[in-house]
Structure 1
Amino acid sequence: MDFKCSDLIVWKGALSSYQIHLASLNKPNLLSLDDFYRTQLPSLLHSRQPTPHLTRSELFSLMQWKLSRGKFRPRLLDFISSLDEALVKSASEKAFLSLPDLAKAVSELTVLKGVGPATASAVLAAYAPDVAPFMSDEAMEAVLGNSKDYTLKQYLVFANRLQTKAKELSLEDETFAASDVERALWSSAVGAKLPNAPAHPNATWQQMID
């Protein structure tokens, strides 16, 4: 799917195919990890008032989700396991309080060993999906034509473009968050690799199923 596409039906089709394409990867526990990340974790974070924060075990599960949905780098899990619980709590509190300043929020999280801008973006997306999209390889490739530059500078450009696209796609009765745009792009990229994927660049797997 072309990032420049402005057809809401195409974007909704790609987004609605997310679960199908997630399952197509046949990764152990990925569906349950995705449910934790997208459904349970946001509720947990927002329930902790007045200072929302992340726990080390939650960060570990988030990292499992990230590595299962993308490239697996087992050493990162070892780094997360060795982090101090109090440091994870403090860093995540500072990051969430820094929003909507993405540069500051990411910087607060990357003090944690094993947490780079991409993982930091996943943490922030769980808390504020409208502001901080996850920095996935597939979405980076679609938006910037490059998925190898995991710098804060690159993330800020990426996030800004997804926020802009989300506003473009949002109507009075339809709300697209920046994280919805990321998931749609990821879904489209994964779906394009499946057997019998639609040949037209703006077609979606869901449209074929329908």
Structure 2
Amino acid sequence: MEPFKQLTGIVAPVDRVNVDTDAIIPKQFLKRIERSGFGQFLFYEWRFHENGDINADFEPNKPRYEGASVLISRANFGCGSSREHAPWAILDYGYKVIIAPSYADIFFNNCFKNGILPIKLSEEQVEDLFQRTAQHEGYKLHVDLESKTLSDDYGLKLSFDIDEHRRQFLLQGLDDIGLTLQHEDKITAYEQKHAARLGQKA
């Protein structure tokens, strides 16, 4: 994973509560065996009509949100099944930060494991972000994980809470495997001793 420290990005809104993982990445696209390539299917049934045409009424499809890397949504984002393909699709599409009042626990944990920063703010703060996003075309947020702050070019400055262990994961670009490999020397030494003991017994 790449380290995450700061990001300045266009904000795209998905103004819905209870956005579940089947909406994020529909089940018919889960047959791929790679982690990459899922972004094209993100919010598929909302982004496209049944005939395959772009749904111009779906907010993130509008030209003003092209290239967005920050996604804002409502409460209980990522509910439903525990598929890890959901954060894969979000990241592959280009979103590196999600802001919502609350998340489903498994989805929330999977975000950190895949290099996505999910930020929790109050309902009132999220509503303010929706209003600012609608008011200013090309609205951007400056996200600073080191100082745990959000700001914009119109006077907004907010602090957000994040578990320190998870914050360090993102700052250092570590997933579970990367965390284990930090102790590679000790693991190798143990394996060598263990192999030597087995050899002596033989």
TM range (shorter): under 0.3
Larger radius of gyration: 2
Looking at secondary structure, tell me which structure has more strand per residue: 2
Structure 1 length-normalised TM:
0.26
Greater helix share, structure number: 1
